[in-house]
């Protein structure tokens, strides 16, 4: 899963208010080159959306559940076809629940203590959150004592800035409302932004190989 997330380079966060649009949005993202998507479980329609995306998108789509805060949500995510669970916080018990379900945990951490706690609990990916206000230099500083950690900076990152984070050592970048607004937006505009992100990912990966 770490290799797959690194290859994807970006995780599109679907925090939608109208989940009837989810398959169309997910298809546009996938066709633009973004394979990893996170459906946030803070909406009652999220489980159904995750099932629909799993049924409609090709098998190499990396679908996960976000805003996971309880073991019951982990169970539902697994039932709906999620491959990873993203949380806004670090909770060792929750990380273990995700691992026990056979899924990849991606806990949120904003301090060195939280990063260490997440890694010690078994997480192999760490969501740096909220990354936008913290900035690229903050992640670089964390990569000193936590060299080799697969950080996925998320929160307040613009789609045009994905390349900056990847060049600084991020495994991938989580992109929310700047890429996929929660309110309805024209699918073509979402696709255009996704294409721009995919171009940045390809450019950075090419430069590092």
pLDDT by residue (tens digit) across 76-129?
A: 999 999 999 999 999 999 999 999 999 999 999 999 999 999 999 999 999 999
User: Could you tell me the CATH number of the domain that includes residue 112?
Assistant: 3.20.20.70
Residue 76 token pair: 């539902």
Residue 182 structural domain: 2-207
Is residue 175 within 8 Å of 33, Cβ to Cβ? no
Model confidence at 52: pLDDT above 90 = yes
Q: What is the pLDDT of residue 208?
A: 82
**Coil, strand or helix: which one is 25?**
helix
Asked if residue 24 has pLDDT above 80, the reply is yes
**Domain count of the chain?**
1
Three-state secondary-structure class, residue 176: coil
User: Is position 38 annotated as part of the catalytic site?
Assistant: yes
127 classed as catalytic:
yes
Give the C-alpha distances (Å, rounded to integers) separating 194 from 35, 37, 63, 76, 129. 10, 12, 16, 28, 21
pTM (two decimals): 0.96
Catalytic one of 79, 127, 160, 199: 127
Please say if the pLDDT value at position 195 is more than 80.
yes
Q: What is the mean pLDDT of the chain?
A: 97
10 in Cβ contact with 197 (< 8 Å): yes
């Amino acid at each position: 899963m770490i290799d797959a997330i690194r290859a994807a380079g970006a995780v599109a966060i679907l925090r939608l208010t109208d989940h009837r649009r989810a398959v169309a949005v997910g298809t546009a993202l996938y066709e633009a080159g973004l394979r990893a998507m996170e459906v946030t479980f803070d909406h009652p329609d999220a489980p159904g959306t995750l099932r629909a995306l799993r049924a409609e998108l090709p098998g190499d789509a990396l679908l996960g559940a976000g805003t996971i805060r309880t073991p019951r949500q982990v169970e539902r995510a697994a039932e709906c076809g999620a491959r990873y669970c993203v949380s806004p916080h670090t909770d060792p018990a929750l990380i273990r629940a995700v691992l026990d379900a056979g899924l990849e945990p991606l806990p949120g951490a904003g301090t060195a203590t939280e990063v260490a706690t997440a890694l010690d609990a078994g997480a192999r990916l760490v969501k740096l959150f909220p990354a936008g206000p913290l900035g690229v230099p903050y992640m670089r500083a964390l990569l000193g004592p936590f060299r080799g950690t697969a950080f996925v900076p998320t929160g307040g990152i613009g789609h045009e800035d994905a390349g900056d984070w990847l060049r600084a050592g991020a495994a991938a970048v989580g992109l929310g409302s700047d890429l996929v607004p929660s309110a309805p937006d024209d699918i073509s505009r979402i696709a255009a932004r996704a294409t721009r992100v995919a171009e940045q990912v390809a450019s950075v990966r090419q430069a590092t190989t």
